């Protein structure tokens, strides 16, 4: 990223070190955009899950067409985010020269040849940045707003038993945690990135944090689902602790039989 406020054209460098660097900078650049698009898609998936639960409580049911539309709509922004960079000009040699001039103290030899955007002021780059900002800020805030509305609807729902309310609230609490993951992962790194692009000042943590933090939701989300979604949790316990689960079933059945005997 350009750190000189007097630069006429900002640039964005993607420094990669790993398996893709042994293939080509173009391959690394493509992988970078795929990674960003899938991270956006993960946030969109969480948002439509929250929206689905909200519509179920408001409408009592969600039609198949509504479900198809929500799933389709959730992939529009990630797909556009994936396609936009391929319509821009890729001049990696120019990016490498500019990066070496603007960052003379960096040891760039371990990254060469690397990729990046030659012009961070191009319509494609700005459009992708706008989409990422909507995802980074809009998805977590929107999910937290909807989950709060859903919890209120569950609490005052007249046709739900107490047991069903408790299960639904547990699920919503899981969705809240899932919503907080993008909030914690995306907003700090993306805010630092926006600050760097607008002021020209360097923030060292942004150069390394954005790719690492973006992976947190995808890594932690399955464990959150396994804990808060009761059928998933029971299936995992049955797989790893079959004896314990069978004993709990026997205890429950004995308790039910003794209770029915008193009746």
- Of 44-48, 157-161, 196-200, the range with the lowest mean pLDDT is 196-200
Residue with more model confidence, 235 or 243: 235
Taking residues 194-210, what's their average pLDDT? 70
Taking residues 157-183, what's their average pLDDT? 77
Share of residues in the chain with pLDDT > 70 (%): 79
Give yes or no for residue 95 having a pLDDT over 80: yes
Taking residues 189-204, what's their average pLDDT? 73
Q: Kindly state the helix (H) or strand (E) to which residue 194 belongs, with its residue range.
A: helix 162-199
- Of 95-109, 110-124, 212-226, the range with the lowest mean pLDDT is 212-226
| pTM for this predicted structure | 0.70
pLDDT digits (tens, 9 = 90+) for 21-65: 788 888 989 988 898 888 788 778 878 888 887 887 777 778 889
Rounded Cα–Cα distance for residues 42 and 39 (Å): 5
The answer to whether residues 220 and 181 touch, using CB atoms and an 8 Å cutoff, is yes
For residues 107-138, one letter each, b for 16 or more C-beta atoms within 10 angstroms of the residue's C-beta and e for the rest, the string is eeeebeebbbbbbbebebbebbbebbbebbbe
Rounded Cα–Cα distance for residues 50 and 31 (Å): 29
Strands 12-14 and 115-117: antiparallel
The answer to whether residues 14 and 28 touch, using CB atoms and an 8 Å cutoff, is yes
Domain boundaries, the chain: 12-228
Give yes or no for residue 256 having a pLDDT over 60: no
The answer to whether residues 20 and 65 touch, using CB atoms and an 8 Å cutoff, is no
Mean pLDDT (the chain) is 76
Taking residues 78-84, what's their average pLDDT? 93
- Of 57-66, 87-96, 239-248, the range with the lowest mean pLDDT is 239-248
Per-residue model confidence (pLDDT) at position 206: 67
HEC profile of 18-53: CHHHHCCHHHHHHHHHHHHHHHHHHHHHHHHHHHHH
């Amino acid at each position: 990223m350009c750190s000189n406020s007097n630069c006429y054209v900002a640039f964005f460098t993607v420094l990669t070190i790993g398996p893709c660097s042994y293939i080509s900078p173009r391959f690394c650049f493509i992988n970078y955009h795929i990674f960003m698009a899938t991270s956006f898609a993960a946030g969109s998936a969480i948002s439509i899950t929250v929206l689905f639960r909200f519509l179920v409580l408001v409408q009592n049911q969600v039609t198949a067409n509504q479900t198809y539309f929500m799933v389709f709509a959730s992939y529009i922004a990630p797909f556009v985010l994936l396609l936009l960079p391929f319509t821009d000009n890729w001049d990696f040699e120019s990016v490498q020269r500019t990066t070496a001039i603007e960052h003379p103290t960096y040891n760039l030899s371990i990254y060469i040849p690397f990729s990046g955007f030659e012009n961070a002021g191009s319509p494609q780059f700005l459009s992708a940045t706008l989409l990422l900002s909507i995802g980074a800020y809009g998805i977590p805030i929107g999910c937290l707003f909807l989950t709060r509305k859903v919890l209120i609807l569950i609490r005052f729902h007249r046709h739900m038993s107490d047991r069903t309310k408790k299960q639904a609230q547990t699920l919503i609490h899981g969705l809240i945690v899932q919503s907080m993951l993008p909030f914690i992962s995306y907003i700090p790194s993306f805010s630092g990135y926006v600050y760097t692009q607008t002021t020209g000042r360097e923030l060292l943590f942004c150069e390394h944090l954005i790719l690492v933090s973006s992976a947190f939701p995808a890594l932690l989300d399955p464990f959150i689902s396994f804990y808060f979604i009761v059928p998933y949790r029971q299936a995992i316990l049955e797989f790893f602790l079959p004896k314990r689960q069978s004993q709990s079933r026997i205890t429950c059945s004995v308790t039910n039989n003794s209770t029915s005997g008193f009746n």
